Amino acid sequence: MKMKLQRSDKIFEYEVPLSGVTLLEALGYIKENIDSTLAFSSGCRSSVCGSCTVRVNGKEVLACAYKPKNDDLIQPLRNMPVLRDLAVDMDRALAFNKIAKAWGLPKEEALHVSGEDAKRNELQSDCILCSACFSACPVYAVNEDFIGPFALTRALRYVNDIRQKDIKPTIEAIQTNGIYDCTLCNECVPVCPQGVAPKQDIEILRNKSGIMGYFNPNILAGFDDGLNF
């Protein structure tokens, strides 16, 4: 099987004499047998740690959950610095979790949570922070401070948690460079290996923000400039 790997700005071809293996196993074969300088990230091999995300023919996948085909082009994720070959620096992307204030803010007393309550944020908490959505998001081309899909999904996880003492700090934190900067293009949804839909989560957060008295600044700007009210 022939595989093409983007390393720095060049494309390298490798012949991997294996079949039926995962892309992660194929990359391991190249590193151990052909070129030990190849860099990529890996961890659990079973799709829960989110380390090995790369792009195959332009689409984000977990290397441990993808079986490569002849002539596939493997590239690093977008929207973050490449450390080397397929390994990227996640520091800046992960910092958006903190900017979004996506964390538990416990009430003083314990609370009974029903099965129905638990369903309210079960899917959002399936996120493994693999960054597939972050890489697929086109907003970063125009706004590198965009809080982005996974951090906004994480914000909704806590906003929708009935155990949360106060949701205002999180809602407040995602007004600027947050929910209104998303173009609702849906690129983040099909690439998620966990079936999470950040675009939908962002729409829910917009509605909640509206109910809490926050305004979409883009709409106000539209009235000002476009319609000249």
For another protein, the binding residues (CB under 8 A) are 20, 22, 31-32, 36-37, 39-51, 65, 67, 83-85, 87, 89-91, 94, 97-98, 101-107, 110, 112-115, 117-118, 121-122, 125-129, 154, 157-158, 161, 163-164
* Alpha helices, DSSP H, located in 3-104: 23-29, 91-99
Nearer to another protein, 87 or 152 (CB): 87
Which one, of 158, 53, 139, lies nearest residue 98 by Cα? 158
Give least dist CB 142 to another protein, A.
26
Report the C-alpha gap between 193 and 50 in whole angstroms. 9
Decide: 14 and 24 in contact? Cβ < 8 Å. Answer: no
Give least dist CB 101 to another protein, A.
8
CB contact set of 207 (below 8 Å; sequence gap of 6+) = none
Give least dist CB 119 to another protein, A.
9
Decide: 97 and 178 in contact? Cβ < 8 Å. Answer: no
Nearer to another protein, 113 or 185 (CB): 113
Nearer to another protein, 20 or 213 (CB): 20
Give least dist CB 40 to another protein, A.
8
